[in-house]
């Protein structure tokens, strides 16, 4: 089955699916996985998460308490 959608209809459907996926409380549910698969077929964000995880922060300086314990 092929849908005959023009560009504005396709954009509206992609926006709707993206909003629905982002607002869902259970991002790993079968329902959301199916919606992501449909979105990938439409050329949307696909099955990848919307935003990548931020890189880990570098370690900070030692606290005064840690320095005192180390001296003992």
* Most distant CA pair in the chain, distance: 75
CA-to-CA separations, 22 to 15, 46, 56, in angstroms, rounded: 11, 13, 24
Burial 13-22 (b: 16+ CB within 10 A, else e): bbeebbeebe
Whether 17 maps to a domain, the answer reads: yes
The answer, yes or no, to whether residue 48 has pLDDT greater than 70, is: no
Predicted local distance difference test score (pLDDT) of residue 70 = 73
Q: Give the pLDDT confidence of 2-17 residue by residue, as tens digits.
A: 888 899 999 999 999 9
pLDDT for the residue 51: 63
Structure tokens at 60: 């900070």
59 belongs to a structural domain: no
Number of domains in the chain: 1
Mean pLDDT of all residues belonging to the chain: 82
pTM over 0.75: no
Decide if 60 is inside a domain.
no
Give the domain range for residue 30. Answer: 11-48
């Amino acid at each position: 089955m092929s849908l005959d959608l023009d560009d504005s209809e396709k954009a509206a459907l992609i926006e709707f699916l993206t909003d629905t996926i982002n607002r869902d409380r259970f991002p790993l549910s079968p329902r959301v996985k199916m919606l992501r698969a449909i979105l990938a077929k439409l050329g949307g964000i696909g099955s990848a998460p919307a935003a990548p995880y931020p890189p880990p922060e570098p370690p900070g300086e030692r606290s005064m308490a840690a320095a005192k314990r180390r001296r003992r």
